A and B are shown apart, each in its own frame.
Chain A
Amino acid sequence: MILREMLEPAAQAAGVLGALVVSRDDGLVVAGALQPKVNGPAVAALAASLARRAQGLTEVLGQPEPLLMELAGNEGTLLAVPARAGLLLVAITARGADLAAVRRQLLGLAERVG
């Protein structure tokens, strides 16, 4: 199954604006299923940068990298889950999305990607 098809269930969940597979090193989009209004490259770059920052924080506390990162704003949420092979799974949602469902989708996908 190609990456884009694997992303479809997460991308089609209620309130999800897009789901992407991102290269962690350079923050580039590897695959994406996005609504037209979503700027995929911007989401990818910002999510990769945030994931590095999050890893930096857990490192200074002697903890392993987080399994999941969420940045929640008043209007929506950005979620990122590290996967194997230097990949990052990312979803961006609108306000009111079922975040528990999106988390489950991303964490499940991380087991299968890479």
Chain B
Amino acid sequence: MSAGSDIAAMTVQLDRDPSSLVFLSLGEALRRKGDLAAALPIAESGVAWYPEMAGAWDLLARVRSDRGEGDLAFEAWTTVLRFDPEHAGAHKGLAFLAYRAGEWDRSYRYLRQALELSPADPGLQSVLDRVREEAAHHASVPAPPSPLSPLELRGRALLVDLRGRLLEGCVDDTSGRPAPEEAGAALAGLSRDAERAVRLLGLGPWRRISLVGDSANLEIRSPTIDSLLLITGPGTTETKSLAGEADRVASGLGRWLEALR
């Protein structure tokens, strides 16, 4: 059977049953054929049907990457890693995006991770060697300043890892005493419960936790798959403006952490 008739048969199958997992094969076949306009809605529909399936997000990432939509591909592959941190394909994809952006060190780290996860992958070692050579030829740039440095964020923005260990910043309690360790531990517990809740209730990956109070509002984000951001603001703060600030800072922290790594 030709590739064309395969695609036609799979298209009929998916039309009959839109929830069929055949979208994975169909989307990939269309992508390989270069029909990205047809592959994209197939991949998007697959993610809508199976929002917690790493393979569905991986397909979407590959289609986005082929379309030259690096930012969207990056988001999709990092989503894959939230569901399956050992997904070698996602590490390879992120390595490719970093390589395409000229970020040799980062590309090398993703590739090394991919090789650890998939040691039998043919050709991966030679790609890794080539990227390592590229990285060696390019001088490393100094680390950018922390997005939590600005004065207006002092005492009200905290970045921790998933275990609550301090990475950057600090939050003060209401008496003005720094409380990064206590807040980090509480934040990690809240994030674990949030992960469990979105998974069991089918809410998709969590992107925001907002706590609104009389005297303070809190916004929580996950700038990368392995970090948590807490931003506090007075209770009089418009929740929308604090949420917008949290989104901006989280986005900056995501890039900053990637650069540091």
Establish whether residues B51 and A46, one from each chain, have CB atoms under 8 Å apart when the complex forms. Answer: no
Alpha-carbon distance A28/B175, docked complex (angstroms): 36
1/0 per residue A60-73: CB within 8 Å of B?
Answer: 11111111111111
How near does chain B come to A79, taking the closest CB pair, in angstroms? 9
Per-position 1/0 for B177-213, Cβ under 8 A of A: 0010011011101100110111011111111111111
Report the separation of the CA atoms of residues A64 and B200 in the bound assembly, to the nearest whole angstrom: 29
Is A61 in contact with B173, judged by CB distance below 8 angstroms?
Answer: yes
Q: Select A62's contact among B175, B205, B208, beta carbons within 8 Å.
A: B175
A67 touches B190 (CB 8 A): no
Q: A53-B186, A74-B51 are in contact. Are A62 and B174 (CB under 8 A)?
A: yes
Query: Is B189 touching A61 in the complex (CB atoms < 8 A)?
Result: no
* Cβ contact of A64, chosen from B204, B206, B215, cutoff 8 A: B215
Interface range on chain B (Cβ under 8 Å from partner): 35 or more
A61-B171, A72-B206, A78-B203 as given contacts; A56 in contact with B190, CB under 8 Å: yes
Within the complex, the shortest CB–CB distance from A50 to chain B, in Å, comes to 5
Assess whether A111 is interfacial by the CB under 8 Å rule: no
Residue B216 interfacial (CB < 8 Å): yes
Asked if A71 and B211 sit within 8 Å, CB to CB, the answer is no
- Residues from chain B with Cβ under 8 Å of A46 in the complex: 193, 196-197, 200-201
B215: contacting residue among A53, A63, A75, CB under 8 A: A63
Residues of B within 8 A of A49 (CB): 193, 197
**A73-B198, A75-B203 in contact; A66/B186 too (CB < 8 A)?**
no
For the complex formed, measure the closest distance between the CB of B174 and the CB atoms of chain A, giving whole angstroms.
4
Indicate whether A76 reaches chain B with its CB closer than 8 angstroms: yes
Partner of A56, one of B189, B206, B209: B189
Known contacts A57-B186, A61-B174, A61-B179: A71-B216 contact under CB 8 Å: no
Q: Looking at the complex, which one of B51, B198, B213, B232 makes contact with A71 (CB distance below 8 Å)?
A: B198
Interface residues of A in 36-91 (CB under 8 A from B): 39, 42-43, 46-47, 49-50, 53-54, 56-78
Residues of A with C-beta under 8 A to B208: 70-72
The smallest C-beta distance from B64 to any residue of chain A, in angstroms, reads 16
Q: Is A92 an interface residue (CB 8 A)?
A: yes
Q: Which of B173, B196, B203, B211 contacts A54 (CB 8 A)?
A: B211
Contact (A57, B216) CB under 8 Å given A66-B211, A71-B194, A73-B206: no
A68 touching B207, Cβ below 8 Å: no
Interface residues of B (CB under 8 A from A): 51, 171-175, 179, 182-183, 185-187, 189-190, 193-194, 196-198, 200-216, 218, 230, 232
- Given contacts A46-B201, A68-B212, A76-B204, 17 further A-B pairs with CB under 8 A are A47-B197, A50-B194, A53-B186, A53-B193, A54-B190, A54-B209, A61-B218, A63-B215, A69-B212, A70-B210, A71-B198, A71-B206, A72-B206, A72-B208, A73-B206, A78-B197, A92-B201
A residues with CB within 8 A of B? 39, 42-43, 46-47, 49-50, 53-54, 56-78, 92, 95
A-B contact pairs, 29 of them (CB 8 A): A46-B193, A46-B201, A50-B190, A53-B186, A53-B189, A53-B193, A54-B190, A54-B211, A56-B190, A57-B187, A57-B211, A58-B216, A60-B186, A61-B173, A61-B174, A63-B215, A64-B215, A66-B213, A70-B209, A70-B211, A71-B197, A72-B203, A72-B208, A72-B210, A73-B206, A73-B207, A74-B204, A74-B207, A95-B204
